[in-house]
Amino acid sequence: MPPIAPYRYFFFAAVILASAILQPTTFFRAAARILHIKQHLPVVNPAPAFLHTNRTLHTMAYEKELELALLAVQRAAILTKSVYSSHSKGTLTKTDSSPVTIGDFGAQALIIASIKSAFPDDEVVGEEDADDLRANADLKSLVWDLVQQAKLSDSAAEGSIGGPIKSADDMLTALDGGASQGGNKGRIWALDPIDGTKGFLRGGQYAVCLALMVDGVPTVGVIGCPNLPVDDKAPLDSKTGFDASSEGNGVLFGAVKGQGATSRALTDGKLAEPKKITMSPLPDVSQATFCESVEAGHSSHGDQAAIASKLGITKDSVRMDSQAKYCSIARGAGDLYLRLPTSKTYQEKIWDHAAGVVLVQEAGGEVSDAYGKPLNFGIGRTLKENKGIIAAPKSVHAQVIEVVKEVLSAKKD
Ligand SMILES: Nc1ncnc2c1ncn2[C@@H]1O[C@H](COP(=O)(O)OS(=O)(=O)O)[C@@H](OP(=O)(O)O)[C@H]1O
Ligand SMILES: [Mg+2]
Ligand SMILES: [Mg+2]
Ligand SMILES: [Mg+2]
């Protein structure tokens, strides 16, 4: 056999190196087969990358969306906290008589600017718009001041969500970016910049809520709760919904469909380390702690009390504003969330539920309407096909729905 020219060795080595870099899994599998090595090769997607376990050659689905949503909500929470501690919250009353504050406007503008910086083609269904700010220059400049001050202390984190909004006009454009009519095609974010605005104003619970829906299915959910205790198992106070004595309040929840749910401390900079959360096992539903709205106009306290009593529940309900209710049951601090309608005409808004639903599902729960029907997030800005909300651990959800139906049908008689 004629000798191989030295440049050919170089050529073979370059081909081998290139395949190892470009197709690592195939390369190592082929090499292992040729060399008869029984080695443990990396498994694709074994666990959520955001839990920092078993990182592999492949990134997890929606990893970038989750990180962006976590940081965007964290930055918006800096703004809402600054409004919360200031003397004036610039409250207005909307046409449906519900309140909105400068915090709602500022948080929505910041979050939509972040989404558009990373995913310019995505749509957003946001609760607020810029009409009031366009009509009132003083209000616009108040919100613009707040927006300019809300920055993540870590410059890499701040840069990764698009950095500061450049001008007051860009802020209005971002705020108006939440006008999507929703639907069941493509990528649509559902945003509630301050959920539980009444809670925010009264110093109770409120939440900054963001979900990504893919083809109408809530897929990524992030919720910031500045007034919830960081300790996942801190007892819920039956009056205010949180233990005001616990130090270091502020929690950031995250979940991706099929990848589990986490909580972590809310910070002003880089993301804190996540902890996996799950619902509490509830072998006996009569031992449940159930959460409900504070406002009697938002859900029927009477129906909820009747349901609890039929289930044999003797503990007082925990009344809490906002999607902090979903968060509290997802981390096992409570067990059930009952939201029975108070009116025949009210349609629940998708931004009041999308993020909380992903969180509860990923923590081992099931969420449906009061009749056990799946929630349909793909038909517009509201859940018009559904009435009420019931969230419970999977093991008892059907049992709770049976009792809800009994209570509702007894009312019709
Ligand atoms: N009539 C009626 N029925 C049901 N829900 C309603 C109703 N009116 C308003 N809303 C929405 O309730 C959102 C706040 O829900 P909460 O569970 O936090 O209510 S409560 O404040 O604790 O009572 C609240 O969200 P925010 O506006 O983001 O605060 C509203 O979207
Ligand atoms: Mg509102
Ligand atoms: Mg809301
Ligand atoms: Mg809101």
pLDDT digits (tens, 9 = 90+) for 67-96: 999 999 999 999 999 998 776 788 889 888
**Protein residue closest via CA to atom 14 of ligand 1:** 196
Q: Are 217 and 130 in contact (CB under 8 A)?
A: no
Distance 240 CA to ligand 1 centre (A): 16
- Any atom of ligand 1 within 6 Å of the Cβ of 197: yes
Q: Is 335 a catalytic residue?
A: no
Rounded-to-integer distance, Cα 120 and Cα 177, Å: 11
| Complex confidence, ipTM | 0.95
User: Domain map of the chain by residue range?
Assistant: 63-276, 285-410
Helices (H), 61-210: 63-84, 102-118, 131-135, 137-149, 155-160, 168-175, 197-202
Tens digits of per-residue pLDDT, 227-283?
A: 999 999 888 875 655 555 555 689 999 999 999 999 999 999 999 999 999 999 999
Rounded-to-integer distance, Cα 275 and Cα 265, Å: 9
Position 115, amino acid: I
- Any atom of ligand 1 within 6 Å of the Cβ of 225: no
Number of C-beta neighbours around residue 301 at 10 A: 18
Rounded-to-integer distance, Cα 399 and Cα 328, Å: 21
Distance 381 CA to ligand 1 centre (A): 15
The token pair at 8 is 């050919």
Q: Is 313 annotated as a binding-site member?
A: no
Position 249, amino acid: N
pTM of the model: 0.86
Fold equal for 63-276 and 285-410:
no
Distance 55 CA to ligand 2 centre (A): 40
Distance 32 CA to ligand 4 centre (A): 56
Q: Is 197 a catalytic residue?
A: yes
Q: Is 192 annotated as a binding-site member?
A: yes
Tens digits of per-residue pLDDT, 349-376?
A: 999 999 999 999 999 999 999 999 999 9
- Any atom of ligand 1 within 6 Å of the Cβ of 295: yes
The token pair at 385 is 């096909």
- CATH 3.30.540.10 applies to domain 63-276: yes
Which of 295, 327, 342, 353 maximizes ligand 1 atoms within 8 Å of its Cβ, making it the mutation to test the pocket? 295
Measured in degrees and rounded to the nearest 5, phi and psi for residue 248 equal 65, 50
Tens digits of per-residue pLDDT, 164-204?
A: 999 999 999 999 999 999 999 999 999 999 999 998 998 88
Q: Classify domain 285-410 by CATH number.
A: 3.40.190.80
